[in-house]
């Protein structure tokens, strides 16, 4: 058997496994028979051993990615050092042409760490999403959908350590283009309540996550921009098993391997870092004021007088006092403080900061100080723009996570045999508890959601709760006001504050007519009033 034939059969074998357990970033295979194969990239052979290990049952209980990649986890080329525009262009071209991510991945990390303003704006954006209350909403109104959502909510919030932090790290993918988290599983007895009924499930559930550096991954151009892990076994790639790897892709334009804000931000950060360095050098050179001596030129021919003046200048420059005759004066040279101390360096940095704020959150007034032309209306417009960007980010994060949640949910239904194969339903799994088939349960996978709310005063927020409950009759979680308003819930009735409340109940409400007294909501019309 020739080497080419061996590689072909290996690819076919791995392809059959990947079809069952791995999801390409495009979600659809390439139809052969038409079009050019030019520029698709080199077809990479796959390590059969690495695939077998990653898809094994042992891999569920531990970390796989710690030793993957072309370099160890603790080694980096740090391309930010001595970075030039030519170097940036070369790094981007490498990703575009070959899918090689080593230098680009290191650059994405370094830029975030080196740029204080962009790091702050990026962190604020991510916290606005993942810092909001998290829930798993049912996909429809059925009892089964509600039970599945309640189960997933219980697993992710109570059984899984570091869920919030993992989701925040995933949003780094907006900057880099993508992000990967490795899920670690273990057996748990999960008890939850749904629809007033208690359930107990024994199953494999995610108990923690580990961040996977992008240096451990690469794009397989021959497979339609499929994101794969580098096994470091002859640089052979390994497909991402969906229940093991939580993958997030930036919701931006263009081909997937060219997404990410860093393709734009790196140019801004490069200029900014150089501006900081040159500003510091300017202050070091011109920030110190030098002594200038005014004297009679004829007296300078006296060596003794010259030596005394030089000594006095050195002492004066060092902060010591000076004793000079009346015909000798010492002045200070002009320094940067005598003119515009901020200068063009500060102006350039301010412009770049503004552009970076707009790049990440769509506006800059909520981050930068408003100018003379700013107004309340303009500030509100910018705040609304930022809120829209955050809401869009939440929707994309929820959509990407739901794909993994559906695959992870299967671990609670069926026995995982390894190699992308599944066995019989678990004896005490979710199917046995809910009386449904694995297919029925998977079709009811819940929808993750972060309740991102626009900024409002506590008074407005409480008014919304009041209207939702007493006017619209909405069923709101009783603990939600405690969480969102920062109230401490009393442990008993004796510890609770006593006050008065006036809540209109069903017996107190009547539909207004022509003879009814007008209400406070609209004095000109009849409406709901006390009976």
Would you say 40 and 222 are in contact if contact means Cβ atoms under 8 Å apart?
A: yes
Give how far Cα 82 sits from Cα of 86, 163, 249, 278, 414, Å: 11, 37, 30, 14, 53
Neighbours of 505 (CB within 10 A): 7
Mean pLDDT to the nearest integer, 451-456: 70
pLDDT of residue 508: 47
Would you say 379 and 370 are in contact if contact means Cβ atoms under 8 Å apart?
A: yes
Give me 1's structure tokens: 């058997």
Would you say 225 and 101 are in contact if contact means Cβ atoms under 8 Å apart?
A: no
Q: Give the total residue count for the chain.
A: 531
> Please, which residues have CB within 8 angstroms of residue 378's CB and are 6 or more apart in sequence?
365, 370
pLDDT of residue 459: 77
Mean pLDDT to the nearest integer, 477-485: 76
Mean pLDDT to the nearest integer, 252-257: 76
Residue 300 pLDDT exceeds 90:
no
Q: Which residues of 157-191 are buried (b: 16+ CB within 10 A; e: fewer)?
A: eebbebbeebbbbbbbbbbbbbbbbbbbbeebebe
Average pLDDT in the chain: 77
DSSP symbol at 427: T
Give the C-alpha separation, 153 to 186, whole Å. 17
Segment 451-460 long-range contacts (CB within 8 Å, at least 24 positions apart): 451/132, 451/133, 451/134, 451/135, 452/128, 452/129, 452/132, 452/387, 452/390, 452/391, 452/394, 453/132, 453/484, 454/383, 454/384, 454/387, 455/383, 455/387, 458/485
* pLDDT band, very low/low/confident/very high, at 388 (cuts 50, 70, 90): confident
Taking only the tens place, the pLDDT of each residue in 109-123 is 988 888 889 899 899
Strand partners, 179: 248
* pLDDT band, very low/low/confident/very high, at 8 (cuts 50, 70, 90): very low
Would you say 83 and 270 are in contact if contact means Cβ atoms under 8 Å apart?
A: yes
Give me 344's structure tokens: 């063009």
Instruction: Point out the least confidently predicted range of 49-63, 139-153, 413-427.
Output: 49-63
pLDDT of residue 520: 39
Mean pLDDT to the nearest integer, 129-152: 93
């Amino acid at each position: 058997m020739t080497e080419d034939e061996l590689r072909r059969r290996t690819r076919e074998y791995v392809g059959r496994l990947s079809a069952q357990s791995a999801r390409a970033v495009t979600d659809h295979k390439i139809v052969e028979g038409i079009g050019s194969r030019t520029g698709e990239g080199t077809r990479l052979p796959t390590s059969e051993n690495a695939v077998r290990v990653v898809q094994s049952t042992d891999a569920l209980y531990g970390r796989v990615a710690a030793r993957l990649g072309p370099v160890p986890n603790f080694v980096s080329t740090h391309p930010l050092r001595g970075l030039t525009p030519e170097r940036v262009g070369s790094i981007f071209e490498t990703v575009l042409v070959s899918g090689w991510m080593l230098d680009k991945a290191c650059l994405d990390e370094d830029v975030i760490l080196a740029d204080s303003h962009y790091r702050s704006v990026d962190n604020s954006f991510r916290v606005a999403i993942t810092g909001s209350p998290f829930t798993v909403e049912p996909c429809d109104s059925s009892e089964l959908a509600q039970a599945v959502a309640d189960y997933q909510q219980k697993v992710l919030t109570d059984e899984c350590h570091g869920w919030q932090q993992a989701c925040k790290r995933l949003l780094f993918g907006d900057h880099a283009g993508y992000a990967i988290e490795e899920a670690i599983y273990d057996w748990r007895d999960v008890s939850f309540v749904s629809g007033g009924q208690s359930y107990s499930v024994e199953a494999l559930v995610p108990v923690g996550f580990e961040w996977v550096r992008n240096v451990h991954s690469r794009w397989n151009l021959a497979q339609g921009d499929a994101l794969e892990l580098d096994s470091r076994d002859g640089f052979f790639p390994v497909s991402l098993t969906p229940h093991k790897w939580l993958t997030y892709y930036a919701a931006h334009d263009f081909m997937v391997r060219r997404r990410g804000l860093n393709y734009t931000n790196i140019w801004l950060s490069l200029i900014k870092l150089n501006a900081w360095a040159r500003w510091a050098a300017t202050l070091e050179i011109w920030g110190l004021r030098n002594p200038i001596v005014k004297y009679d030129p004829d007296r300078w021919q006296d060596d003794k007088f010259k030596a005394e003046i030089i000594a006095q200048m050195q002492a004066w420059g060092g902060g010591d006092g000076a004793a000079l005759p009346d015909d000798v004066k010492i002045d200070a040279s002009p320094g940067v403080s005598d003119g515009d101390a901020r200068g063009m360096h500060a102006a350039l940095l301010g412009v770049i900061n503004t552009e970076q704020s707009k790049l990440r959150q769509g506006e800059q007034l909520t981050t930068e100080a408003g100018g003379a032309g700013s107004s309340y209306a303009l500030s509100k417009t910018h705040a609304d723009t930022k809120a829209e960007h955050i809401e869009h980010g939440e929707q994309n994060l929820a959509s990407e996570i739901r794909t993994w949640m559906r695959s992870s949910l299967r671990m609670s239904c069926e026995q995982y045999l390894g190699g992308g194969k599944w066995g019989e339903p678990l004896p005490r799994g979710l199917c046995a508890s809910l009386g449904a088939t694995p297919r029925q349960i998977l079709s009811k996978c819940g929808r993750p959601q972060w309740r991102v709310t626009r900024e409002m005063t506590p008074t407005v927020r409480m008014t919304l709760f009041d209207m939702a409950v007493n006017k619209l009759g909405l069923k709101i979680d009783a603990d939600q006001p405690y969480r969102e308003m920062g109230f401490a819930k009393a442990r008993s009735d004796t510890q609770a504050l006593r006050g008065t409340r006036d809540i209109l109940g069903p017996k107190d409400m009547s539909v207004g007519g022509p003879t009814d007294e007008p209400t406070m909501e609209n004095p000109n019309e009849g409406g709901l009033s006390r009976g």
